[in-house]
Structure 1
Amino acid sequence: MPPIRHSVFRPCIDLHDGQVKQIIGGTLSDTAPENLRTNFVASDSPGDFSRLYKKHNLGGGHVIKLGPGNDAAAREALGAWSGGLQIGGGINDENAMQWLDAGASKVIVTSYLFPNARFSLERLRKISSLVGKDKLVVDLSCRRRGERWVVAMNRWQDMTDMEISQDTLNLLSEYCSEFLVHAADVEGLCQGIDRDLVENLGKWAQIPITYAGGANDIDDLDLVERLSEGRVDLTYGSSLDIFGGTLVKFQSLVDRNMKALDLD
């Protein structure tokens, strides 16, 4: 059976201390900040990256605030392409509408849904009702535990009580329009995607899903498309030349998207 759709490249802007960075996800820690390992710190501004994505019509990307001190940088990125990028990191019922007003196409929510690391359906219903299902993305970034994937919150430091599964995605998809899934264990390592996770996401997907973590080759897009039957899109980070990488050229991904979307 041919893919229902083509997997495409979704861009990202990861913000840490007000700068665009590429960080090895598993090293983020409030208790041991000295362990943080950074692959790249951009000299270009968040707005520069946003304008680059706008130039090439790379919609559906995300801006992630990794901790405090990133609000101004996030507003700059959103302002450079109003309605073009999603925003995540510290999103809750009190600030979600402010970020939509600042130019976000959608808000991405994680930790707010897990008070004391336990999932709250009440909170999901509340924020979905507030912003609208079509404006809400649920971040299911996770860590692998044997043959399972457990959702991690607070910059991937704290494990929650939620396992990614068919039942989980079915429930959550009633209240949101997309999922974002960082495989935190391979994030920033450029050692390949979590194939099992991507394959399962493709089986379980009812709504669009963007996967991030480990992509290190242009052919990973074809791999994700094959594993997920085109139901999962892919984000590249540290392997990408615009983030100091040497393994994947940004222009190659732009060309691949144009081909997939028949825009050429």
Structure 2
Amino acid sequence: MTQPDATWVPRLVALDIDGTLLKWVQGEGTTHEEVAPRVHDAIHRALDAGAHVVLASGRSPHDMTTIADLLDLHGHEQERLWVVASNGAVIFRYLPGGEAEIVHEDLFDAAPAVRAILELRPGARVAVEDRGRGYRVTSPFPDGELAGEMVTADVEELVANPVSRVIIRDPDATAEDFVALAADLGLHGTDYVVGWTAWLDLTPVGVSKASGLQHVCDELGLGAEDALAIGDGRNDLEMLAWARRGVAMGQAVEEVRAAADAVTGTVYEDGVAVELDRWFP
């Protein structure tokens, strides 16, 4: 990553959602569905300056449109937004009040990886996105962790066809347990990200928020050298490395903070606004 010079201004701002735009509910694996006024105002200064603001999250498409509406990202022209969902596996355009228009989706065969994980963690829960509705799950996830409808199904049914993303969740394990588990298995042919808890996202090889954002840049005639990215999780590592300037939230795990070009305030200190104020005063 090359540090921008004094004349550089971001032309694309990529923002994670949970733990970046939205504050975590203490002691729970969910976030408050509200954006701090200071963060909202800073984002609109970026929009007014002509920057493209792109949400980039591990959330599924149906769980991201409400955040776009909270931020009023469409502006006065009500243009369609570019949004990177499912850790880069799904890219869509969104107009307020309308449905998400999927423009790109990466699929993969998750069955071998899921079977290998369940051999070692037979009590783990598995979820596959049911786009536009919610998730198909082997058993219900803890309240608030998945948005939309949850439909129970057998694991072999869930992975019988190619999917864009699989979630593995074990409430009885820790994030460190899952880091070790994924490293030991190797998970050949599949990429993975470990979350804050014992939460494992499986995605197609080579797919990440960074690859999704590059697709958006290609459409907009921009490049990574034009991008500022802000995030707090392990699924933001590729995005922070890809962008000209990658910024970690203050409460991010050390692995993420160390990989970033800079560290801003925590989500409780409106860290996104602190960073954006630097470029869009």
Whether TM-score is above 0.5 comes out as: no
Q: TM-score, normalised by structure 1?
A: 0.39
Higher-Rg structure is: 2
Q: TM-score, normalised by structure 2?
A: 0.37
